[in-house]
Structure 1
Amino acid sequence: MFLEEYDVIVVGAGHAGSEAAAAAANLGSKTLLATMNLQNIAQMSCNPAMGGIAKGQIVREIDALGGYSGIVSDKTAIQFKMLNVSKGPAMWSPRVQSDRMRFAEFWRLKLESTKNLDFYQEMISGILVENNCIKGVKTSLGLEIKGKSVVLTNGTFLNGLIHIGEKQFGGGRAGERASTGITQDLANLGFEAGRMKTGTPPRVDGRSLDFSKMIEQPGDEKPQKFSFSDETQPLKFQRPCHMSYTSSDVHEALKEGFDRSPMFNGAIESLGPRYCPSIEDKINRFADKDRHQLFVEPEGWNTVEYYINGFSTSLPEDVQFNALRKVTGFENVKFFRPGYAIEYDYFPPTQLKHTLETKLVSGLYFAGQINGTTGYEEAASQGLMAGINAHLKVQEKEPFILKRNEAYIGVLIDDLITKGTEEPYRMFTSRAEYRTLLRQDNADFRLTPLSHKIGLASDERLKRMEAKQNKSNAFIEFFKENSVTPEILNPILESKNSAIVSQSDKMFKPFSRPNITMRDMRKIDEVEKYIKENDLDIEMIQQAEIQIKYSGYIEKEKNNADKLNRLEGLKIPDEFDYSKLKSLSFEAREKLSTIKPTTVSQASRISGVSPNDISVLLVYMGR
């Protein structure tokens, strides 16, 4: 039934598992993707969307590295929006509404067309370990599948428990059973486990909604896309979303069920995502607010099923129904299914290395919600990195690790393994200290050369990126080398209430002014002529504008990152004995001994380790 031994076995076929399997197989590893239901590969368990604030940057990074999430998102999108465009480019974040059914279908077809990849449908109930090295996995039928490395991406399935009001039943997702056995195996090996909680809103029948009473939310007038490749194109047609609001009447109806809420009666003890609270949590925590936004999102091009974003709940189904019927436009709403909460096992990620390999078992990797994260994008990026590193370890090659100044993915993994998490971790732009460097528009410049070097990003990807970079740089030089006269420039400056000039100057100088945009500069005939003659696309034009207008900020962050990287170069021996350093605080000795940072820079980011503790460490290391 199976190969004698696989290079990489991936357990779970959600967003993390799918990216892990694709990466390992595309790099040349003999890979097996094992899941409980092959019909649900890359299922969008919660909202039918990809990207968003900071998450959109991650999807573009995955694409730049050669992962599939960006391509699949583009191919199955029904609406595109660039969020935060009123702010600086470091904050711009792409997001798409997706066709849920087509998303899962397209992912499966992409995986089925990937060489070196086998599939198997059955519950994986345990792992095979000898002398602290992974040897494979066990199935619920008692089969043993041998593998040189294993990537666990179990999502919410490990001992999953679903809550709807006072009702509880085992499950990893609505309509799917939980996975058992792996948690116990890991606990027996000495792993620390915990419980987390997440939730999802009701799905409703769009035919029962009155959209004329809601506020339409269209996509961008000129939509862009995620993938840097030419395999996808921007949307020509889009489906609108809609927005409505809760009210005091809705809140009162919800409160009637609080005594039966698992959130408040003690049935749920684990922590849920702070930045995506349930509707009952919102009206409890923000009692001063008399309404909350609800986004009514279609689940696909043709289906009538809608996702009610902002109404995540685990209240009894009758309470959900009665409250939602009091929302404007929902007076006659019909449910497809109620919302619910789910508790599941996770493993604090401080038990991992930067490669996402566990410290206790060589060749065993964790990715996704098993590490305490929330979100498709965070999971997919971890899966990609775990798949890459599992392959590299089997091939006895150097690991692939992204630094905090190289990618949001680097920030995510470093945060997890250095700081850990006691609540579902979600990425935000504020978590990245170098976010001016880590923009969505330059992800290919940052990461495609690194991925090409290990053999994942194709030659075609690299050539396309280099061509784009060369054209963008040449456009920047055009502004630096060519002058503009006051007669041409001053009318543009006057229209923007900007100080006029008295003599000719290089175009670069007025363009650097905060209130002058590329649209303004394109009113100069020479600029528009250059764009047309050199066939510059929107990404090349945008890249040049950002580099010109934010060059000072970008250079400053590069310098700061260089300083940090000097500490990254100071390695700490694997078996370093912190107990010998009596000048360290007790908390620092305890945290450093547990987490075992590999560099002084990583040690400095551990919660509870002070600058004074780092000074002691540097002195001991002769620095």
Structure 2
Amino acid sequence: MFLEKYDVIVVGAGHAGCEAAAAAANLGCSTLLVTMSLQNIAQMSCNPAMGGIAKGQIVREIDALGGYSGIVSDKTAIQFKMLNKSKGPAMWSPRVQSDRMRFAEEWRLMLERTPNVDFYQEMVSGLSIKNGKIEGIKTSLGIEIKAKTVVLTNGTFLNGLIHIGDKQFGGGRAGESAAYGITEDLLKVGFESGRMKTGTPPRVDGRSLDYSKMQEEAGDVNPDKFSYSDETKPLIHQRSCHMTYTSLEVHDILREGFDRSPMFNGRIKSLGPRYCPSIEDKINRFADKERHQLFVEPEGWDTVEVYVNGFSTSLPEDVQFKALRSVAGFEKVKFFRPGYAIEYDYFPPTQLKHTLETKLVSGLYFAGQINGTTGYEEAASQGMMAGINAALKVKDQEPMILKRDEAYIGVLIDDLITKGTEEPYRMFTSRAEFRTLLRQDNADSRLTPKSFEIGLASEKRMRRMEEKFAKSDAMVNFFKETSVTIEEANPVLEAKGSSPMIQSDKMFKVFSRPQIDLDDFIKFDKVKQYIEDNNLDKEIIEQAEINVKYSGYIEKERNNADKLTRLEDMKIPEDFDYNKIKSMSIEARQKLSKIRPVTISQASRISGVSPSDISVLLIYMGR
């Protein structure tokens, strides 16, 4: 039934597991993807969407590395939006509304077309660990499958417990059983575990809704796409979402059920996601608010099923139904299924290395919600990095570790393993100190060369990226070398409320003015002719515009990142004894001894380690 020994076994086929399996297999490793249900590969358990603030940057990074999430998202999108376009380009974040059923189908088909991937449907009930090294997995049928490395991507399934009002039952997701045995095996060898909570809203019948009472939320007029490859095309037709609001009446109905809410009666003791709270949590924490937004999101092109974004809840189903019927447009709503909360096991990620390999067991990797994160994109990126590093370990090659100035993925992983998390971790642009460098438009230039070097990104992708940035750089040079006269420029400048020129100047300098954008410059015959002569597309032109308008900010941030790199290069010996440094605070000694940072830079980011502690550490290291 199986190979004698797999290079990589991936446990779980959610977003993390799928990317892990794809990465390992595409790096030439024999890979087994084990899941409790092959019908639910890459299931969108919560909202039918990919991307969003900071998350869109992560999807672009996955794509730039050669992952599948961007391609699948493009092929199954029903709407595209570039969020935050009114702000600077560091904040622009792509997002698609997805066809949930087709998303899962496309993921499965792409994996089936990937050489080196085997599939097996069964529950993994244990791990084979010997002398601090992973040897394989054990299934509920008593089968042992051997492997050189194992990636655990168990999502919400480890001892999962579903709550709806007074009712609770075991499950990893609605209609699917929980997974038992893995947590217990990990605890036996010394891992620490905890419990987290997440939730989901009701799914309703779109035929029962009155959209005339809601505000239409259409996609972009000129939609873009996620993938840098030419495998996908931007959408031509799109489906609209809608927006409505709760009210004081809705809040009063919800409060009637608080005594039966597992969140308020003590049944749920674990912490849920801070930035995606349940509706009962919102009206409790923000009692002064008269209403909250609800986004009404279709689950696909053809299905009538609708996702009620913003109404996540674990209240009794009768309270959910009564409250939702008081929302404008939902007066005759019919439920497909109620919302629920789920508690599950996770393992504090300070127990991991930057590669996502566990410190306690060699060859064992964790990715996704098992590490305390929330969100498809965060999970997928961890799965990809775990799959890459598991494969590189098998091949006895140097691991791939992304730094904080190289990728949002690098920020995510560094935050997790350095700071840990006691509540579901979600990525935001504010978490990245070098976000001007980590834009969604340049993920390919940042990461495709790294991926190409290890053999994951194709040569076609590499050449396409090189051509794009060569043309973009050439356009920037064109602006630096080409002059514009006052007769050409002043009418445009005055129309935009910018000071008129008193003499001819280079286009680069004029273009750098904050009031002026590319649409203004394309009016000039020289620019229009240059674009036509060089056959430049929207992607290249936008890249050049960003590099002109934000060159000062980009250069400043690059200099700051280079200073950080010098600290990253200062390695701490693996067996360094922090307890011998008596002039360091006790908290710092305890935290450093537990987390075992690899570099001075990582040590400086640990909560409880002060700048003076770092100074003392540098002295002891002879620096």
Letter in structure 2 aligned against 1:162: I
Letter in structure 2 aligned against 1:612: S
Aligned to 1:85: 85
Aligned to 1:506: 506
Q: How far, CA to CA, are the matches of 1:528 and 1:252 in structure 2?
A: 60
Aligned to 2:207: 207
Correspondences of 1:198-597 after superposition (within 5 Å): 198-597=198-597
Letter in structure 2 aligned against 1:43: Q
Letter in structure 2 aligned against 1:582: K
Q: How far, CA to CA, are the matches of 2:432 and 2:124 in structure 1?
A: 36
Correspondences of 1:81-160 after superposition (within 5 Å): 81-160=81-160
Q: How far, CA to CA, are the matches of 1:572 and 1:485 in structure 2?
A: 58
Aligned-partner SS, 1:73: helix
Kindly state the Cα deviation for residue 504 of structure 1 after the two structures are TM-superposed: 1.2
Q: How far, CA to CA, are the matches of 1:491 and 1:243 in structure 2?
A: 41
Q: How far, CA to CA, are the matches of 2:166 and 2:529 in structure 1?
A: 68
Aligned-partner SS, 2:6: coil
Deviations 1:354-399 (A, max 9, x none): 0000000000000000000000000000000000000000111101
Q: How far, CA to CA, are the matches of 2:480 and 2:73 in structure 1?
A: 38
Stretches (4+) displaced over 6 A: none
Structure 1 position 66 matched with structure 2 position 105: no
Q: How far, CA to CA, are the matches of 1:164 and 1:536 in structure 2?
A: 55
Q: How far, CA to CA, are the matches of 2:217 and 2:440 in structure 1?
A: 23
Bigger mean CA deviation after superposition, 349-358 or 488-497: 488-497
Structure 1 position 75 matched with structure 2 position 87: no
Aligned-partner SS, 2:416: helix
Q: How far, CA to CA, are the matches of 2:428 and 2:298 in structure 1?
A: 25
Letter in structure 2 aligned against 1:172: G
Aligned-partner SS, 1:91: coil
Aligned-partner SS, 1:147: strand
Q: How far, CA to CA, are the matches of 1:542 and 1:172 in structure 2?
A: 43
Kindly state the Cα deviation for residue 575 of structure 1 after the two structures are TM-superposed: 1.1
Kindly state the Cα deviation for residue 532 of structure 1 after the two structures are TM-superposed: 1.4
Aligned to 1:27: 27
Q: How far, CA to CA, are the matches of 1:226 and 1:520 in structure 2?
A: 27
Structure 1 position 603 matched with structure 2 position 599: no
Aligned to 1:173: 173
Q: How far, CA to CA, are the matches of 1:536 and 1:303 in structure 2?
A: 39
Structure 1 position 14 matched with structure 2 position 14: yes
Letter in structure 2 aligned against 1:400: M
Q: How far, CA to CA, are the matches of 1:215 and 1:492 in structure 2?
A: 36
Letter in structure 2 aligned against 1:151: V
Letter in structure 2 aligned against 1:543: Q
Deviations 1:319-354 (A, max 9, x none): 000000000000000000000000000000000000
Q: How far, CA to CA, are the matches of 1:399 and 1:502 in structure 2?
A: 56
Deviations 1:166-188 (A, max 9, x none): 10000000000000000000000
Aligned-partner SS, 1:24: helix
Q: How far, CA to CA, are the matches of 1:116 and 1:215 in structure 2?
A: 48
Q: How far, CA to CA, are the matches of 2:92 and 2:405 in structure 1?
A: 18
Q: How far, CA to CA, are the matches of 1:206 and 1:565 in structure 2?
A: 52
Aligned to 2:194: 194
Aligned-partner SS, 1:510: helix
Kindly state the Cα deviation for residue 418 of structure 1 after the two structures are TM-superposed: 0.1
Q: How far, CA to CA, are the matches of 1:145 and 1:41 in structure 2?
A: 21
Aligned-partner SS, 1:90: coil
Aligned-partner SS, 2:565: helix
Aligned-partner SS, 2:148: coil
Aligned-partner SS, 1:302: coil
Bigger mean CA deviation after superposition, 571-580 or 232-241: 571-580
Kindly state the Cα deviation for residue 276 of structure 1 after the two structures are TM-superposed: 0.2
Structure 2 length-normalised TM: 1.00
Kindly state the Cα deviation for residue 533 of structure 1 after the two structures are TM-superposed: 1.5
Kindly state the Cα deviation for residue 535 of structure 1 after the two structures are TM-superposed: 1.1
Letter in structure 2 aligned against 1:213: K
Letter in structure 2 aligned against 1:533: D
Kindly state the Cα deviation for residue 293 of structure 1 after the two structures are TM-superposed: 0.2
Kindly state the Cα deviation for residue 578 of structure 1 after the two structures are TM-superposed: 0.5
Q: How far, CA to CA, are the matches of 2:395 and 2:29 in structure 1?
A: 9
Letter in structure 1 aligned against 2:119: F
Letter in structure 1 aligned against 2:68: Y
Deviations 1:250-272 (A, max 9, x none): 00010000000000000000000
Letter in structure 2 aligned against 1:448: T
Q: How far, CA to CA, are the matches of 2:572 and 2:479 in structure 1?
A: 47
Q: How far, CA to CA, are the matches of 2:488 and 2:560 in structure 1?
A: 39
Q: How far, CA to CA, are the matches of 1:140 and 1:383 in structure 2?
A: 24
Q: How far, CA to CA, are the matches of 1:424 and 1:210 in structure 2?
A: 35
Aligned-partner SS, 2:300: coil
Letter in structure 1 aligned against 2:162: I
Kindly state the Cα deviation for residue 207 of structure 1 after the two structures are TM-superposed: 0.2
Aligned-partner SS, 1:513: coil
Deviations 1:392-439 (A, max 9, x none): 001111010000000000000000000000000000000000000000
Q: How far, CA to CA, are the matches of 2:486 and 2:603 in structure 1?
A: 55
**Runs of at least 5 residues in structure 1 that lack an aligned partner in the other structure:** none
Q: How far, CA to CA, are the matches of 2:583 and 2:335 in structure 1?
A: 62
Kindly state the Cα deviation for residue 9 of structure 1 after the two structures are TM-superposed: 0.2
Kindly state the Cα deviation for residue 528 of structure 1 after the two structures are TM-superposed: 1.0
Letter in structure 2 aligned against 1:404: R
Q: What do you get for the CA RMSD once the two structures are aligned? A: 0.4
Letter in structure 1 aligned against 2:620: Y
Aligned to 2:53: 53
Kindly state the Cα deviation for residue 158 of structure 1 after the two structures are TM-superposed: 0.2
Letter in structure 2 aligned against 1:103: F
Q: How far, CA to CA, are the matches of 2:328 and 2:359 in structure 1?
A: 53
**Runs of at least 5 residues in structure 2 that lack an aligned partner in the other structure:** none
Aligned-partner SS, 2:24: helix
Q: How far, CA to CA, are the matches of 2:288 and 2:299 in structure 1?
A: 32
Aligned to 1:38: 38
Aligned to 2:182: 182
Kindly state the Cα deviation for residue 502 of structure 1 after the two structures are TM-superposed: 2.0
Structure 1 length-normalised TM: 1.00
Letter in structure 2 aligned against 1:127: L
